[in-house]
A and B are shown apart, each in its own frame.
Chain A
Amino acid sequence: MSAPAPIEVAGLRKVYRQTTTGEAVTAIQQLDFRIEPGEVVAIVGQTGCGKSTFFDILIGLEAPTAGSIEIGGRTPYGDFDGFRGRIATVFQQDRLLPWRSALDNVRLGLEMLGLPEAQQVERSREWLARLGLGDFLQAYPHELSGGMRQRVAIARAFAVQPGILLADEAFGHLDEVTASQLRDEFVGLARANGATAVLITHQLEEAIGIGNRILVFGKPATLLADVRLDGYGADDTALLREAIQATLQTNRIDPRLLQ
């Protein structure tokens, strides 16, 4: 695992220019917050509010229009090579390479790290086995079920042993049983490895179920509410859900979330 470092988001703003119309689209209005190492954070927000855009900047695929994201004092979009192996993402669709076996799909991130081949295979095997796919190393993605494919994608992310794990609606398209099982595994493994985990989700139950903290994004993204879950008991779940729902609907923080 790479050294744990906080994620610091300051004055972050992202405006896209549409290629066809030339129109400016504000994807992120303004974001300021900090995520401590080892935290498990859920992000909720309406569709199109800029959640994936936030991840794109965090991964280093996009540069912010203004403001910054710093991880351990460095910016992923400015130091792409320096962040190789430090952040890994599980996407909404599994995004496996159809021409590669499960094992070779997991190896992908390790190839980028330039690990010796024997070590790549060894570690990929280990992670697939840990996710219950020890018997499917040579299977191609189309031979696996949706849940199994997403397990391969999880193995691929964990295999690079990143300090930060991201999941962008990674479990939403699966049936509820599989989804909650995989989500628990994802969070459990992140905790066991001391990694920071950030999950984007549409399901409030999921957000409340997993983490230490829920960030509620407005549209376009601003931080409407920063909910620390340790302040609430198990019987506050219904209240929390209603309050967050109301926050999302009105685009303004619900008074019940102010302690």
Chain B
Amino acid sequence: MVIALRTASLVVFLLLWEWAARVPISFNFPTPWATFTALIELVWSGALLQASLTSLQSLALGFGAAVLLGVPFGLVMGVVRPIGRVARIYLDLLIALPTAALIPLVILSFGISILSSAVIVFVFCAPFVTMNAYGGVRDMRPRLVEMARSFGASWGQLFARIVLPSALPMILAGLRLGLSRAFLGLIVAELLLSPFGLGRLIMDSRSMFEHDRMFATVLWTLLLSGAALAGLARLEGRLLRWRM
């Protein structure tokens, strides 16, 4: 049933696309077939993989740093309340503000390099990763802490056995949110900087009026982020089996 629905929705989507390509909305709008062959070509020539590798490098750098710094810092914010109360103001600001406005500043400080797109990725996702870890600790049931203390738990045991597992669902949700924000940051950065990666491929094909190639690259980017998010969701499902 689900599979049938999914197939049907895909078919409808492709038909709509085909229709959009035939109607003269824009005369450069490529058909699904043209996009698909362009995609195969791009994969075959290695250009796409090369670009993906470069882009994923910035993504891994930025997102990895966000996880490695954001999760522990969020946990500290939750455990040491005064730190949490001060830090959350800045994080709330970072979440509310249009972060993309910071990009020129980042380029100014880091130049146009993989590092600067990694920094932009970091700025896009770190606040979310951090706030979720913080929220996870804050949502913890104090009764469980009291219970563990009543069995003589030390502070270390309390953290490892109660605080961390209680916060885990929120932390993992934060990683998923953070990863989708990281892809957003990556694409925004690369479209603006565009000396490398998938962003460059998109901009290059656009300037050469190779709209099928451009579309193929966009499609590929979407598939890439979809796959990464699905992988993370799987990991989440496995770690949170007890909630099923």
Asked if A and B bind, the verdict is: yes
| CB neighbors of B among A127-167 (8 A) | 140, 142, 156, 160
Q: Interface size class for chain B? A: 10 to 19
- What is the size, in residues, of chain A's interface with B at 8 Å between Cβ atoms? 26
Which of A89, A91, A97 has the most chain B CB atoms inside 10 A of its CB? Answer: A97
Whether B152 and A80, one on each chain, are in contact in the complex, defined by CB atoms closer than 8 angstroms, is: yes
Taking chain B's interface residues, is the majority helix, strand, or loop, or is none over half, making it mixed?
Answer: helix
Shortest C-beta distance, A127 to chain B (Å), equals 14
Whether B149 and A91, one on each chain, are in contact in the complex, defined by CB atoms closer than 8 angstroms, is: no
Given contacts A93-B143, A111-B161, contact A59 B150 (CB under 8 A): yes
Asked if A236 CB lies within 8 Å of chain B CBs, one says no
Shortest C-beta distance, A3 to chain B (Å), equals 17
Known pairs A91-B143, A99-B165, A109-B152 / 19 extra A-B pairs, C-beta < 8 Å:
A61-B146, A61-B149, A84-B151, A84-B152, A88-B150, A95-B146, A95-B147, A97-B144, A97-B162, A97-B165, A98-B243, A99-B168, A99-B240, A108-B151, A109-B151, A111-B157, A111-B161, A113-B152, A140-B242
| CB neighbors of B among A82-114 (8 A) | 83-85, 87-89, 91, 93, 95, 97-100, 108-109, 111-113
| CB neighbors of A among B107-152 (8 A) | 143-144, 146-152
Whether B152 and A83, one on each chain, are in contact in the complex, defined by CB atoms closer than 8 angstroms, is: yes
A199 to B150, CA, bound (A): 16
Shortest C-beta distance, A206 to chain B (Å), equals 22
Q: What residues of chain B have their CB less than 8 Å away from a CB belonging to chain A? A: 143-144, 146-154, 157, 161-162, 165, 168, 240, 242-243
Shortest C-beta distance, A12 to chain B (Å), equals 19
Asked if A81 CB lies within 8 Å of chain B CBs, one says yes
Contact pick for B148, options A88, A98, A108, A140, CB 8 Å: A108
Chain B residues near A97 (CB-CB < 8 A): 144, 161-162, 165
Whether B152 and A81, one on each chain, are in contact in the complex, defined by CB atoms closer than 8 angstroms, is: yes
Shortest C-beta distance, B232 to chain A (Å), equals 19
Whether A89 and B242, one on each chain, are in contact in the complex, defined by CB atoms closer than 8 angstroms, is: no
A160 to B242, CA, bound (A): 25
